[in-house]
Structure formats: C-alpha cells, structure tokens
Amino acid sequence: MKRFHVRSSEFFALTSIILLFSFLFPLAATAQTSKETLKITIIPHRSTKGNLRAYAPLIEALEKKIGMPVQMLASKTYDKAVGKLKSKEADVAYLGPFAYVKAHDDFGARLIVRTIDDDNTEFYHSLIITRKDSGIKTLGELKGKSFAFTDPSSTSGFLFPMVGLSKAGISLEDFSRFVYLKRHANSLMAVYNGQTEAGAVSSTAKNKVKVNFDDIRILWKSEPIYRGPWVAGKDLSDSLFQRIQTAFVEIMKREDAAEIFRKLSTKGFVKGQDGEYNNVREAIALKQKLQ
C-alpha cells in the first residue's frame, strides 16, 4: 500500500486555507441575507437635532412602507448634502430647487417627489425683507446697508434674491456687510432683531419662528417657485426608486398623516417633472449674465 507523506509546512498551509474558507463563507452568507439600508440626507433648514426630531415620524413611516431600514445623515450645508448624493454616501436627499438643479445637471440626480403644504400649495416665494421701522422702502436703498443670506446654494435665500438685487443695480460689494446664516429662520430673525438691516428668506420662514410679521416690510417678492424636491442618486435602482416614490405619495393618505407631518412645513408629496424647475435654471443663467 502506497503511503502519502505531507510535509508539516504543507499541512499548516492546507489547514490555514480550510480555516480561512470556514471563516469567510459564513460572513458572505450573512452579508447576502442582511437588509440593505437606505441612506438619506437633508439640507440644514433646521439644526441637525431639529431635523432629526422633525423628520423622525416621516422616516419611520417610510421604513415601514418600503420594508427596509432608513438612516439619516446630517449635512451642515446645501453643498454637503449634494456632495453626499454625488459620492453615493447618501441614496436620497431632500434638497432646495437650486441644489436639485445643480445635482441633476451635474451628475444625473432624479426627482422623486415635490413637497406640498397643508392647503396643497405647490409653490413658495423668495422674499427680500426689512423692518418697517428701518426706513428702507426700495431695493435701491439697500446700498450701504447690512444684509443676511441663508446659503450660497439656497434658491430663495440667495439665487433668486441675487437676481432681483442685480436687476435693481445692487451687487454684494454695495452692502456694508453681508452674512450667510444657513437657515431661513436665522435670516428672518436677524432682520427682525435688527442684527442686519435687510435679508433674503423663503416665504415659509415665518411659519418656523415666532415673530410679528406685521413688523416686516417685503421689499421684493419672486415669481412662484415649486417647493422642495426629494431626489435620488443616479444609480438608485428603478425598482427602489418606484417603491420610495409610491411610499411618499401614500404616506400623506394615512390616518395619522397629520401627526407624521406635525413638525414639518411639508404636509404631503406629489410626483413632479424636472422641467418644472426650469425657472431655476433661467435664474442661474441670468445671475451669471448679470455678474
């Protein structure tokens, strides 16, 4: 009978391979059966904690509808929210129209739904405001004054106001100083409390803080802008895209919808088309032309 001899070095090598396979295959099996997590990010129209609290009921409802975990990722600026979507760190993002247009035209982000408010209004406006007791009554009188914007990538907090200001012959250099305050509520409060003499805000800002809006003078108001879009990254599968879109539309029909949306200015969703944000593209082109 012929005997086979295995060298000790070969024995240990073979044993190592067997152990390696026994270690890897269970992990592979676990990875294949584990649930995928949908990662979303939201522009900082509140503080990070404020967004987490306000959106928690909506995220929970979305998880149940699509049948998978949903994780919220904080973004401290509009551009960082877009960046997370571009880098695939996030699968879905809630953006402003300006940020969405940049994401769509840059890397093919896709519109899932648009938001609506409690009376089904699909639009909002950009406003340039001052206090009534400031003595300022026209845009032209803003030269030499202080001004508050929200974010350089904000639709109503920068893009549309800059077009309005440029048409009135006002540039950033004409202000005594200007600041970016991240959130519309901050810009509104800066004007209301006299920290800046004027500012740019969304028409929805007055619903987010307690101020007597009768003390505010609106110097300029934009054309209607479609409300904020929920956006998917280019590589999100069509099947998951459809599940998310359907879930958003169905959530607003739930009996507890009022509680889900209680802390949000959003009160529901509608399917939208990319072309509905063409006026944002026109504002971008006009701003570049006026510079």
Structural domains of the chain sorted by starting position, each given as residue range(s) with its CATH number in brackets: 38-122+227-276 (3.40.190.10), 124-225 (3.40.190.10)
The answer to whether the beta carbons of residues 93 and 41 sit under 8 Å apart is yes
8 Å CB contact between 115 and 227: yes
Distance of CA 267 to the CA centre of its chain: 16
Instruction: Please identify which residue in the block is written with the tokens 């803080």.
Output: 209
pLDDT band for position 119 (cuts 50, 70, 90): confident
Q: Are 205 and 187 in contact (CB under 8 A)?
A: yes
Instruction: Give the contacts of 238 (CB within 8 A, at least 6 positions apart).
Output: none
Over the stretch 54-111, which tens digit does the pLDDT of each residue have?
A: 999 999 999 999 999 999 999 999 999 999 999 999 999 999 999 999 999 999 999 9
Place of tokens 């522009």: 43
| Confidence check: pLDDT of 35 > 50 | no
* pTM over 0.75, yes/no: yes
Pairing of strands 177-180, 146-149: parallel
Name which of 222, 223, 209, 211 is nearest 128 in CA terms: 222
From CA 214, how far away is CA 228, in angstroms rounded? Answer: 26
Are 198 and 219 spatial neighbours (Cβ–Cβ below 8 Å)? yes
Picking from 70, 115, 78, the residue whose alpha carbon sits closest to that of residue 100 is 78
Contact 126, 162 (CB under 8 A): no
Strands (E), the chain: 38-42, 70-74, 92-94, 110-116, 123-124, 126-131, 146-149, 177-180, 198-202, 216-221, 225-226, 229-232, 268-270
pLDDT at position 128 over 90: yes
Cβ neighbours for 4, distance < 8 A, ≥ 6 positions apart: none
* Per-residue model confidence as pLDDT tens digits over 171-227: 999 999 999 999 999 999 999 999 999 999 999 888 778 889 999 999 999 999 999
DSSP-derived pairing of the beta strands 92-94 and 229-232: antiparallel
Residue % of the chain over a pLDDT of 90: 78
Give the range among 13-22, 41-50, 174-183 with minimum mean pLDDT: 13-22
Task: Please tell me the distance from the alpha carbon of residue 109 to that of residue 92, in angstroms, as a whole number.
Answer: 9
230: helix, strand or coil? strand
What dihedral angle (degrees, nearest 10) is formed by the CA atoms of 243, 33, 42, 226? -10
8 A C-beta contact, residue 290 and residue 166: yes
